[in-house]
Structure 1
Amino acid sequence: MNTEARTRFETLIERLEAEDYQVYNAHRRESWGAKFLTPDECTRLDYDEISASTVFVAFPGHPASPGTHIEIGWASALGKPIVLLLEEGADYAFLVRGLHTVADVTYLTISDTESLADEVITTVNRLARNATGS
């Protein structure tokens, strides 16, 4: 993961945690690539963490991240509200672009990291309130 992408992830995680959200993130869990888990370990942990989540937030990736696409599928099958962070002008899989027709998906376009973090917080707060009925 390049420095810009890692900074984007870390900024979003810090902002969400400052709002008292528990953030599950495989990249952080695996020390940003320094301590990979086995396929059996990471698959089970990712699935369990998505199952326990109130809102699922993801960068589908450009080029596509196969693991993230599996996680997006799990989140939609589990009925989780989903926030997908898309790069402006990038091309995404048809099923990512059309996912909103079968799941609760909010698409946010990535601009600068700070304004993106603000948009993500606002969106996650709204979706979490709706999901918990408060």
Structure 2
Amino acid sequence: MKINRPALVIAIAFFIFWLSVLYAGADHPPPAGFAWLILIVAICSLVVYLRLPCYWQWAYTRRSMRKCRVLLDGAIAGATLAIGFFVFAPPGDAHFAAAGVFDYLLWVTGLTVVGAVNAAAVYAITVLLKRCRLMPY
């Protein structure tokens, strides 16, 4: 398998950015559960790495509705992540046990929007690198 350097650099930057944001918002020292967030951000970074060639292809071929597809792609990823937190939360977790329906909807909506914004940012960076001729493919 050939390593895609631009995609790898963007995925690593994504990992560092989100890990920094999450660490800044965590208690200090971070709780033991923070290790799970590191794993989740690593998985999200892997998804970014795998989706970048697709985004580049959409930009290169000027595929119709590509911007909507990118936003939908990110929204699905964000919603999947939000729902995954519910599914894999430890039984009796105080944060989820005290939440109401509005709280769940707010959580899913928030992560869906964040996913769409992240996908748009990754796509914009891909297009910028393409225009600067820094993408080798």
TM-score, L = length of structure 2? 0.26
Larger-gyration structure (1/2): 2
The structure whose residues are more often strand, as a share, is 1
More relative contact order, 1 or 2 (CA 8 Å, 6+ apart): 2
